[in-house]
Chain A
Amino acid sequence: MAQATILFADNDPDFLKTRAEFLEQEGYLVIPAAGPTEARRILEAGKIDLAVVDIRLVNDDDEKDISGLVLAKEVARSVPKIILTGFPSVESVREALRPQLNGLPATVDFVAKQEGPEAMLSAIGKVLMIAVEGGETGAPTPEEEGEPKAVKSRQAQVRLAGGIAAIVTLLLATGTGIVALVTGDPRWLLATVFLAIFMVVGIGLAVFMPE
């Protein structure tokens, strides 16, 4: 993957600046967001490979503030998100990582701020690695959502083209074969052989191209 773009959302400006600089030093392009509204706007604009989101995006002293989790659940489901919090709890882990009704968790990982920047970096690396390998990130990647259908469609087109080519070359080969027999001209015979080869290739594509 080229330089990955990370949305980093945290309402603590010092923490946001420090961690954003740390990630930039590690080679990531970081887009900071100081609150849920800004983070939502950036996520909805797209072009984010991964989002690191604080749970309490509005008020660090408010135990009921789960604006970051709400954001992670509601916005840009195809973007993998890591929850970062200074107040880890069993309940917040469950909310973040427990599979939802669609079978996927709201976020792909959960890191406590107290674990340090290396833990965050490790989690980011793992998530981006999985995304590159096309594995499960918890949320479907754009590739998972789009490419298989496109590949299937291309395979169907190839099968169809192979079938049409086989029929057309069969008709042509029959014609040139008759002419070759009647005239005894080796050029017509050569043309028949070439057409027969194309016909075999067409049949091969139509029959053996996977579904």
Chain B
Amino acid sequence: MSGKKLSILLISDDLYWIEAVEESLASSDLTVDATFESSALEMVRDRLAGENAYALVIVDVMATENTSRLVGQIRQQQSEARIVVATAAPTWQLAREVFRAGAMDCVRKSLSKRTLHTLFAGILSRVLPS
């Protein structure tokens, strides 16, 4: 390990949700960068160039024009990117599309910090080095 703090990129325009996610991850020693869809690819690219790629990218469906396209574009930039798609109204078709595009999971969006904490604890246990 290089000792660098691991970072998560959160692509969302929902300020309440961003705050809830940040608070739910506050105890996990991770930094959270929040951004809009328009800057997301640039941020992924910049981090990749700096050899400190995001450990996890969380995509809020409501913040994207075409979620599966964005997931695919992120994967094109960073083939090992771990991407989780969050939506308040998941459907099996959306889940299939984002998995086909390369997402590692499709989860229900929640504003409950407790639910989010449990959710991200499960995801991070699969993502972060033990």
How many of chain A's residues touch chain B, expressed as a range?
Answer: 10 to 19
Residues from chain B with a CB closer than 8 A to the CB of A99 are: 104
> Residue on B with the closest CB to A110?
B96
Q: Which of B90, B91, B92, B104 contacts A98 (CB 8 A)?
A: B104
Q: Which of B90, B95, B99, B106 contacts A105 (CB 8 A)?
A: B99
- In the complex, A149 has a CB within 8 A of chain B: no
- In the complex, A97 has a CB within 8 A of chain B: yes
Summarize A's interface: helix, strand, loop or mixed: mixed
- In the complex, B105 has a CB within 8 A of chain A: yes
Residues from chain A with a CB closer than 8 A to the CB of B100 are: 97, 109
Q: A90-B90, A90-B91 are in contact. Are A98 and B96 (CB under 8 A)?
A: no
Summarize B's interface: helix, strand, loop or mixed: helix
Residues from chain A with a CB closer than 8 A to the CB of B99 are: 93-94, 97-98, 105, 110
Residues from chain A with a CB closer than 8 A to the CB of B106 are: 90, 93-94
Within 8 A of B (CB), among A89-122: 89-90, 92-94, 97-99, 101, 105, 109-110, 112
Q: Which of A89, A101, A105, A109 contacts B92 (CB 8 A)?
A: A89
Smallest beta-carbon distance A32→chain B, Å: 25
Within 8 A of A (CB), among B97-130: 99-100, 104-106, 126
Give CA–CA (A112, B92) in the complex, Å. 10
Within 8 A of A (CB), among B62-102: 90-92, 95-96, 99-100
Q: Are B92 and A88 in touch, CB under 8 angstroms?
A: yes
Give CA–CA (A94, B92) in the complex, Å. 9
Give CA–CA (A110, B92) in the complex, Å. 10
Give CA–CA (A109, B126) in the complex, Å. 22
Closest 9 CB pairs of A and B: A97-B99, A93-B95, A88-B92, A90-B90, A93-B92, A90-B95, A90-B92, A93-B96, A110-B96
